[in-house]
Amino acid sequence: DAGVTQSPTHLIKTRGQQVTLRCSPKSGHDTVSWYQQALGQEPQFIFQYYEEEERQRGNFPDRFSGHQFPNYSSELNVNALLLGDSALYLCASSLRIGAAGANVLTFGAGSRLTVL
């Protein structure tokens, strides 16, 4: 049973560029959340997608956007990259809100983004 898969694992971009990160949730999960983890820090919630809609958003600017597809996979897009966007971007999947165990998240290994 595959867990959460993310791609790419590592990438390097320059300031001002745009990036797209991809996530496939764990089998049976239909909700995807994205987190940003700066080096040496804890993960910070970016947003959550369920039924192809953004359900909630953390304290992140509109440069961060996302999408969820009918097969529950998801993308995270970041525009106009800043040096401070360098981080490990984690995708987590779970069951839908209200389901038993909905707050149990399964994390992927992350995508390490470096902005130069």
State the residues that interact with other proteins by CB under 8 A: 4, 33, 35, 40-48, 55-56, 58, 90, 92, 94, 97, 102-110, 112
In the complex with other proteins, which residue's Cβ is closer, 42 or 62? 42
Q: How far is CA 103 from the centre of its chain?
A: 16
Helix (H, G, I), strand (E, B) or coil at 38: coil
**Judged by CB, which is closer to other proteins: 21, or 46?**
46
Alpha carbon distance 87, 41 (integer Å):
10
Q: How far is the CB of 44 from other proteins (least distance, A)?
A: 8
* CB-count burial class (<10 Å; 0-12, 13-18, 19+) for 91: buried
Nearer to other proteins, 63 or 96 (CB): 96
Find the shortest distance in angstroms from Cβ 59 to other proteins: 9
